[in-house]
Structure 1
C-alpha cells in the first residue's frame, strides 16, 4: 500500500462520508473470513499451523500450498469405534519417535502443520469400558516437492533404526510400503516383549503401528498407541489411514 499522502490536511465533508463506509467494508471482510472460507469463530477452534518456526525455517510459501489446515481435513472414526471426540494436540506431542525424531523433519518446505488425537474402543463395547487405544494424526502441507522428500527422509530414517530401547525393553522396528493408499504410504510396526501389570514378562509380544501417507503435497502421519502400553489395533489403523486419504482428497478439491 502506498505511503504517499496529499499535502492538504483537510478533506471535504462529502469525501469523508465516502471514505469511512469503505473502510468499514474492508475491515469487516477481512475480519470475517479466513483462507478456507470459514468464519474466525469457527477457524479459531480448528487446528491450523504449529508454532511459528524460526526465521531460518520459514516456508517459501507457494501460492498453491495451503497455509491452514481445517478440522474437516482430519479423519473421524465411526461412532461405533469412537470412545471420545477428536481433540487438537500439539504436533510435537503427536508425532512418534523411534531412535530419534524420524517423523519431525518437515524442513523449510512445510507451509502448515496440525495434529488431532482420537481415543477408540472395541466395536460394540459400552462407553464405560476401558479404551482400547488412541490414534494421533498429524497433517503436514508442503511447498513444491517437499511432501515426496519427506516420505523419502522418513523411510531412510526408519530403516536406520532397526531397534531402540524403551524403558529398559528392546523394541524392534520393521517397515514396508503400502500400495493402494494415496500416492505413497509407509507402515511401521513396533514390537516388544509383553509384560504384566507388575512389569513381569508374559512370554508374549506387544505391537503398535505408525502409518504415513501422502496425497499430492499433503502428508499425514498416524501413531496408534494401545491403552496404557498394550498393543494397538492394526485393523482400525488401516481403516483410519484409508479414510484419512479420502478426507484429505476431499479437502484438496
Structure 2
C-alpha cells in the first residue's frame, strides 16, 4: 500500500469511531476470505443444480422407458423392396413347351374316391337333402319314406353294400307336363341317398358298373331283362346310368304279345361321399321318359349340394 493511502487511512480512523478501524492487512484478509466463501458457495450451487437435473432426468426416463418420437401419422411408409426376378417354387411351375418353367393354377378337381372341395361329410340325411319335383310334375301325392332296395337285382350282385354310414329311401310318383289333373301318374321314382365312408362312395359306383357289365341278361318275373350301361356325364362328381329293357307285360305280368318293350332307367350319382340313386320304376307299364329322368337328376344333385354347403 502507498504511503499516501496509509496516511489517509490513519487520519480517517482518528476522525471516526473511537474504537478504531481494522488495520488494512486485516481488512484485506477479510476481503479475501469473503471472496473465497462466495466462490465456494457458487461451486456448491452449481453442483446441486447438476445433481437435481440428473435425478430428474432419471425419473423421467424410468417413468417413460420408450417415448421415442416417430414420424407423423400421415407420413407414408417406405415401399417394400420387390425382387426384380422372383424365382418360382418347383410346386407352382411346370415345364412349358420350350422347356422353360410356366406357372400353373392350383388344381380344384375333386380327388377320385374322396370328398370334393365344395362338399363335406355329413352324419345324417334330412328331408331337405331330397329334391322337390317341379310344379308341372307334382301329382300332389307327395313322397313316402320307407325301407327297401335302392337298386334293382343284378344277377345277385350287391354293389355299394359295404362302407355305408347312413341311408334313406323314398318313393315319389310324378306326372309329365301337360298330363291332365286326375290322371294316374306317369312314373314312380325309387329315390335314395346313401352316405359312405371316405373312399367307399367311388368304389360303390365302380362296383355298380361291374355288376351291370357282368349281368347282360337275367329273368325278371315271366320275362327276360337285358341290362346295358348308357353314357352319363355332367351329374355330380361322377354318375352311372344303365337301362333294363324287357318285353311289355300286362297287369298279370305276362308278356303282352304286342312286341313292345318297356325300358327302365336307373342313374346313380356321386357327390363327395354321398351317392343318390333315381330308379324309375314306371306306373302300370310304359317306359321311363329320359328327358324327365335327366331333369330330375339335375334337381337331385342341386339339392344335395345345397345340403352339403
Q: Is contact 1:65–1:111 with CA below 8 Å preserved after alignment?
A: no
Aligned to 1:212: 268
Pairing 1:106–2:161 present: yes
Q: CA deviation at 1:102?
A: 3.6
Q: Is contact 1:143–1:217 with CA below 8 Å preserved after alignment?
A: yes
Q: Is contact 1:114–1:138 with CA below 8 Å preserved after alignment?
A: yes
Aligned to 2:145: 88
Q: Which runs of 5+ in 2 are unaligned?
A: 1-119
Q: Is contact 2:249–2:285 with CA below 8 Å preserved after alignment?
A: no
The secondary structure found in structure 1 opposite 2:143 is strand
Give 1:228-247 correspondences, 5 Å limit.
Answer: 228-247=284-303
The secondary structure found in structure 2 opposite 1:241 is helix
Give 1:19-30 correspondences, 5 Å limit.
Answer: none
The secondary structure found in structure 2 opposite 1:227 is coil
Aligned to 2:199: 145
Match of 1:127 among 164, 169, 181: 181
Counting matched residue pairs gives 187
Q: Distance in 2 between matches of 1:76 and 1:220?
A: 14
TM-score (norm 1): 0.69
Q: Distance in 1 between matches of 2:293 and 2:146?
A: 18
Q: CA deviation at 1:177?
A: 4.2
The secondary structure found in structure 2 opposite 1:229 is coil
Q: Distance in 1 between matches of 2:231 and 2:164?
A: 23
Aligned to 1:57: none
Aligned to 2:123: 67
Give 1:157-196 correspondences, 5 Å limit.
Answer: 157-196=211-250
Q: Is contact 1:171–1:191 with CA below 8 Å preserved after alignment?
A: yes
More strand by share: 1
Q: Which has the larger radius of gyration?
A: 2
Q: CA deviation at 1:106?
A: 2.9
Q: Is contact 2:154–2:211 with CA below 8 Å preserved after alignment?
A: no
User: Relative to structure 1, is the Cα distance of residues 143 and 121 closer, same or farther in structure 2, using a 3 angstrom cutoff?
Assistant: same
Q: Deviations over 1:13-66 (max 9, x none)?
A: xxxxxxxxxxxxxxxxxxxxxxxxxxxxxxxxxxxxxxxxxxxxxxxxxxx632
Q: Distance in 2 between matches of 1:235 and 1:89?
A: 27
Q: CA deviation at 1:94?
A: 4.2
Q: Distance in 2 between matches of 1:201 and 1:99?
A: 26
Q: Is contact 1:177–1:185 with CA below 8 Å preserved after alignment?
A: no
Q: Which runs of 5+ in 1 are unaligned?
A: 1-63
The secondary structure found in structure 2 opposite 1:242 is helix
Q: Distance in 1 between matches of 2:226 and 2:267?
A: 16
Aligned to 1:116: 170
